[in-house]
């Protein structure tokens, strides 16, 4: 009996994703089985967890299994589980739409390059939709555990634009997915091929995966024989000595939906006052939604081999959200909730030890003679690692050693990255601070007038151009006993010592002081001060921030975030007394003309630092007028 047949239209994003995925993943088409078996395993995990507090949900079945069958004459493959199942509303939410998945962001990241996009799609997690790589029609029949047999629902679609829903009767709980194969997918109508895919991708699924034996159906007894085709042993519970690199990689790919092998594997069993096992992975590439701090899907929490929850954010801090893996505890209760995890000493100790393990692995990679792996890691996850300086005070020193920065050590190599240890090793004994400049990008930083004096004296400067860098240096104020100092803040001792000790006449000193006073008066409230500087060699002027003040770059970031500083930060205008333009200003008597030159010097210096002028048109008009007057 069927009722309530309805036709629905896919979300636009779902249709786009299906089209892209089918073409991008065609060369990896066998992963459809990995994805569907993984989903079935998740459904079994959920039922096992729910049945701890409600045994009736098992409906008298003691064994939880995934079943795999194929029918050559009908050209179908069926993947079945006796797990938690879904209601009609859950089917619509989980399959008809991609709720809360960031699909639009994902689609925006796609480049059109099939090789690159296939990796991105893997990181996205293709899940159920992978069925359409091999099938031109997919039928799903599901019933929520604990509901009546006539409460089941059937979902069907050809993956092009619509899907149908109708109520059906299903005697058993769980989900059956029937794939109607495309004409060129005969390879999967083979017992050998299906077993090969299962053992390659799903051997360590923690439930039996059973296949119906070919040609053994007994017509008289009406029975079928099924054989288990996977090990069904939790990989993290096996001794490291018995596991191969390939087995670790296969489990990672099942866990993460990634096509790449992991960059590093950390497998540990802890015994004593606490008992737990962790299997953690570092990916090679960042997922498309890495910077969505609310999306937490890195670790799965198990208690005594029973799956408890996904997205276990309490087990790993936000700045390590890229870590994938499993933690299985013998000490937590099976009915543990997210609320309990928030204030649980067992969880706190597991988290602390796991963070330590990840940081030690990264330190080992960063210290290796071959830096290829660490460079790949830093390119993918360096920006989120910087969040740890702000968030994780206890491990700040360890994280600081892992940081990498661009530097003026080799200005022609924009990809060069150095550590703070590298920087200190090259510091002259007389240098007291680690110097850095923060800018919107690498090119803007290199063009800053503030670097002129440092270049002249051969002092290395770190170039910080990530959005988080202002917050980073606000919290990382020193390293290995050396303070970190912005070259745009306050006086620079090493450059002040560079002053040419030629004797200035009293008249020359008075002229310089007088010019500073005149320009300060001309600029009024636009600046906090005007003074002579020795940090410039080629530019006539620059703007600096008072020691301890909020930098212009930080002010811009806060303004972009809707948190503009009021009153607005006033810069200090510093003049290069040796520049020909500054020297000529001394002879200008007209206050109005001097004011135009003062505004020009200020706005020119602000532009060099990446600032946005209040009125660019007024600046251009002023420059044109000054050029006309000069000519």
Q: Which residue has the higher pLDDT, 536 or 342?
A: 536
What does the pLDDT average to over 485-512?
A: 73
Sequence-distant (6+) residues with CB within 8 A of 362 are 282, 374, 377, 402
What does the pLDDT average to over 318-323?
A: 92
Give residue 107's pLDDT. Answer: 62
Highest mean pLDDT among 17-31, 368-382, 549-563, 569-583: 368-382
Q: Which residue has the higher pLDDT, 249 or 204?
A: 249
Residue 355 has pLDDT above 90, yes or no: yes
- Give the position of tokens 């996009």: 117
Longest CA span, the chain: 119
| pLDDT tens string 68-101 | 999 999 999 999 999 999 999 899 887 765 544 4
User: Inter-axis angle of helices 191-201 and 245-256, to 10 degrees?
Assistant: 90
What does the pLDDT average to over 102-127?
A: 57
Give residue 111's pLDDT. Answer: 57
The pLDDT confidence band at residue 625, using thresholds 50, 70 and 90, is confident
The pLDDT confidence band at residue 407, using thresholds 50, 70 and 90, is very high
Domains of the chain: 3-233 (3.30.565.10), 237-401 (3.30.230.80), 405-498 (3.40.50.11260), 500-631 (1.20.120.790)
Give residue 498's pLDDT. Answer: 47
Name the percent of the chain in helix, strand, coil, to the closest 5. Answer: 45, 20, 35
Give residue 181's pLDDT. Answer: 96
Give residue 494's pLDDT. Answer: 78
The CA angle 265-251-105, to the nearest 5 degrees, is 90
What does the pLDDT average to over 404-414?
A: 86
Closest CA to 145 of 206, 60, 74: 60
The span from the CA of 600 to the CA of 626, in Å, is: 9
Across-strand partners of 7?
164
The span from the CA of 545 to the CA of 470, in Å, is: 14
What is the Cα 508 distance to its own chain's centre? Answer: 57
Of the given ranges (109-123, 148-162, 329-343, 500-514), which has the lowest mean pLDDT? 109-123
Give residue 384's pLDDT. Answer: 93
What is the Cα 111 distance to its own chain's centre? Answer: 18
| pLDDT tens string 51-67 | 988 999 999 998 999 99
Give residue 4's pLDDT. Answer: 77
The CA angle 274-248-29, to the nearest 5 degrees, is 135
Residue 115 has pLDDT above 90, yes or no: no
Across-strand partners of 227?
211
The span from the CA of 75 to the CA of 72, in Å, is: 5
Give residue 99's pLDDT. Answer: 40
What does the pLDDT average to over 11-21?
A: 70
Highest mean pLDDT among 357-366, 509-518, 604-613: 357-366
The span from the CA of 133 to the CA of 158, in Å, is: 11
Contact 505, 454 (CB under 8 A): no
What does the pLDDT average to over 451-455?
A: 91
Of the given ranges (2-6, 343-347, 445-449, 519-523), which has the lowest mean pLDDT? 2-6
Give residue 100's pLDDT. Answer: 40
Residue 244 has pLDDT above 50, yes or no: yes
Q: Based on C-alpha coordinates, what's the Rg of the chain?
A: 32
What does the pLDDT average to over 264-280?
A: 93
Can you read off the two tokens belonging to residue 496? 């002040």
Asked if residue 567 has a cis previous peptide bond (ω within 30° of 0), the answer is yes
Sequence-distant (6+) residues with CB within 8 A of 21 are 121, 126, 129, 130, 132, 133
The pLDDT confidence band at residue 473, using thresholds 50, 70 and 90, is very high
| pLDDT tens string 186-239 | 999 999 999 999 988 888 888 999 998 755 555 555 567 899 999 888 899 999
The per-residue DSSP string of 225-262 comes to -EEE-S----GGGS-GGG--HHHHHHHHHHHH--SSPP
Residue 501 has pLDDT above 50, yes or no: no
Average of per-residue pLDDT values in the chain: 85
Q: Which residue has the higher pLDDT, 499 or 583?
A: 583
What does the pLDDT average to over 170-193?
A: 95
Give residue 215's pLDDT. Answer: 54
Contact 401, 421 (CB under 8 A): yes
Contact 232, 207 (CB under 8 A): yes
Work out whether strand 541-544 and strand 3-9 pair parallel, antiparallel, or are unpaired: unpaired
User: Inter-axis angle of helices 31-53 and 245-256, to 10 degrees?
Assistant: 70
């Amino acid at each position: 009996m069927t009722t309530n047949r309805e036709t629905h239209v896919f979300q636009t994003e779902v249709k786009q994703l299906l089209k892209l995925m089918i073409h991008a993943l065609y060369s990896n088409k066998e992963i459809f089985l990995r994805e569907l078996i993984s989903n079935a395993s998740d459904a079994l995990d959920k039922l096992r967890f729910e049945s701890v507090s409600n045994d009736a949900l098992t409906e008298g079945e003691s064994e939880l299994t995934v079943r795999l069958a194929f029918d050559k004459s009908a050209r179908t493959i069926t993947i079945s589980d006796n797990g938690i199942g879904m209601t009609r509303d859950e089917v619509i939410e989980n399959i008809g739409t991609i709720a809360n998945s960031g699909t639009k962001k994902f689609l925006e990241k796609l480049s059109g390059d099939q090789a690159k996009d296939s990796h991105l799609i893997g990181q996205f997690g293709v899940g159920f939709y992978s069925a359409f790589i091999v099938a031109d029609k997919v039928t799903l029949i599901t019933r929520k555990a604990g509901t009546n047999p006539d409460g089941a629902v059937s979902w069907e679609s050809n993956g092009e634009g619509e899907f149908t829903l109708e109520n059906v009767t299903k005697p058993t709980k769980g989900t059956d997915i029937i794939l109607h194969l495309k004409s060129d997918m005969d390879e999967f109508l083979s017992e050998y091929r299906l077993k090969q895919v299962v053992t390659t991708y799903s051997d360590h699924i923690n439930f039996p995966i059973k296949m119906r034996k070919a040609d053994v159906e007994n017509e008289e007894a009406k029975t079928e024989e099924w054989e288990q085709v996977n090990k069904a042993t939790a990989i993290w519970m096996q001794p490291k000595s018995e596991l191969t690199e390939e087995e670790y990689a296969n489990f990672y790919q099942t866990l993460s939906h990634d096509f790449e092998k992991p960059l590093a594997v950390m497998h540990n069993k802890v015994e004593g006052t606490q008992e737990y096992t962790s299997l953690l992975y570092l990916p090679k590439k960042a997922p498309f939604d890495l910077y969505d701090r609310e999306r937490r899907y890195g670790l799965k929490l198990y208690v005594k081999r029973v799956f408890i929850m996904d997205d276990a954010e309490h087990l790993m801090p936000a700045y390590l959200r890229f870590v994938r893996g499993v933690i299985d505890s013998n000490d937590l209760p099976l009915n543990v909730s997210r609320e309990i995890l928030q204030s649980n000493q067992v969880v706190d100790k597991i988290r602390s030890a796991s963070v330590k393990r990840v940081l030690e692995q990264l330190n080992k990679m960063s210290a290796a003679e071959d830096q290829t792996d660490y460079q790949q890691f830093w390119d993918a996850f360096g920006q989120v690692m910087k969040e740890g300086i702000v968030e994780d005070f206890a491990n700040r020193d360890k994280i600081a050693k892992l940081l990498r920065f661009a530097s003026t050590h080799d200005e022609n190599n924009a990809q060069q990255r150095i550590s703070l240890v590298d920087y200190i090793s090259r510091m002259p004994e007389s240098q007291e601070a680690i110097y850095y400049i923060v800018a919107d990008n690498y090119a803007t930083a290199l063009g800053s007038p503030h670097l002129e004096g440092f270049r002249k004296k051969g002092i290395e400067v770190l170039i910080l151009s990530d959005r988080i860098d202002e917050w980073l240096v606000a919290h990382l104020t020193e390293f290995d006993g050396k303070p970190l100092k912005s070259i745009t803040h306050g006086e620079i001792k090493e450059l002040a010592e560079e002053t040419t000790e030629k004797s200035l006449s009293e008249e020359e000193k008075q002229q310089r002081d007088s010019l500073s006073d005149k320009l300060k008066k001309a600029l009024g409230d636009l600046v906090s001060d005007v003074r002579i500087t020795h940090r410039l060699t080629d530019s006539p002027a620059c703007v600096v921030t008072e020691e301890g003040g909020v930098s212009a770059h930080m002010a811009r970031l806060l303004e972009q975030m809707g948190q503009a500083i009021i009153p607005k930060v006033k810069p200090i205008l510093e003049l290069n007394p040796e520049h020909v333009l500054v020297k000529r200003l001394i002879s200008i008597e007209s206050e109005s003309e001097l004011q135009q030159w003062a505004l020009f010097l200020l706005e020119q210096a602000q532009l060099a630092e990446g600032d946005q002028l209040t009125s660019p048109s007024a600046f251009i008009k002023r420059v044109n007028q000054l050029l006309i007057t000069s000519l």
